[in-house]
Amino acid sequence: MKTIGVLAIQGAVDEHVRMIESVGAIPKKVKHASDLTELDGLILPGGESTTMRKIMKHYDLMEPVRAFAKDGKAIFGTCAGLVLLSKEIESGEESLGLLDATAVRNGFGRQKESFEAQLPVEVFGATPFEAVFIRAPYLISANENVTVLASIDEKIVAAKQDNILVTAFHPELTNDDRWMRYFLEKMV
């Protein structure tokens, strides 16, 4: 049975824990670098990327998370996690730099522009995924080693590169476990 950590410093932590349990994996809340040991994968949840980065820096988590990825361990970033994992953030803020792409924070607008969309995802076949976008970012560009999994109006909203998976939306806020299963089966 796989153990998946959820960075538990801010954001949709409990929703991810429930989704991990629903697919038969063991969740573990991560607050310190020592919590990363013996994990099979890690989720950086949605929340507020600037706040998450500040807390990660305060608790010296930036380098341990980078090392976790460089050791080949899988990381799934949703919403703010997408921003934190991107190599560059359009606003120039510091990131983990693990995904060869450039993120735009709040790319679809502020809270009042949040929306849901029936998102076609080729790896899931004909049934679209009901994606929940809350102050969502997107990837404005991605290098050729990044596989785009879904887009809206030419804005990249799901992608992967090696052991890194990102979505601009919140799959944990739905009852559809296909993204978590994809992460466990294809990435971890």
CATH number at 98 reads: 3.40.50.880
CB 122 within 8 A of CB 142: no
Alpha carbon distance 76, 45 (integer Å): 8
Q: Does 94 participate in catalysis according to the annotation?
A: no
pLDDT band at 108 (very low <50, low <70, confident <90, very high): confident
What pTM, to 2 d.p., does this model score?
0.96
User: pLDDT of 142-186, one tens digit each?
Assistant: 999 999 999 999 999 999 999 999 999 999 999 999 999 999 999
CB 40 within 8 A of CB 76: no
Altogether, the residues listed in the chain come to a count of 188
Q: Does 16 participate in catalysis according to the annotation?
A: no
94, 116, 172, 185: the catalytic one is 172
Q: Does 170 participate in catalysis according to the annotation?
A: yes
> How many separate domains does the chain show?
1
User: pLDDT of 114-142, one tens digit each?
Assistant: 899 999 999 999 999 999 999 999 999 99
The position carrying tokens 């944990």 is 172
21, 48, 170, 185: the catalytic one is 170
pLDDT tops 90 at residue 39: yes
pLDDT tops 80 at residue 110: no
Task: Classify the C-alpha dihedral 43-167-143-106 as positive or negative.
Answer: negative
Kindly report the three-state secondary structure assignment for every residue of the chain: CCEEEEECCCCCHHHHHHHHHHCCCEEEEECCHHHHCCCCEEEECCCCHHHHHHHHHHCCCHHHHHHHHHCCCEEEEECHHHHHHEEEECCCCCCCCCEEEEEECCCCCCHHHCEEEEECCHHHCCCCEEEEECCCCEEEEECCCCEEEEEECCEEEEEEECCEEEECCCHHHCCCCHHHHHHHHHHC
Rama region for 60: left / alpha / beta (φ>0; ψ in -120 to 50; rest): left
pLDDT tops 80 at residue 26: yes
Q: By residue range, what is the domain housing residue 130?
A: 3-187
79, 90, 122, 185: the catalytic one is 79
Of 117, 115, 131, 118, which Cα lies nearest the Cα of 166?
131
User: pLDDT of 69-98, one tens digit each?
Assistant: 999 999 999 999 999 999 999 988 999 999
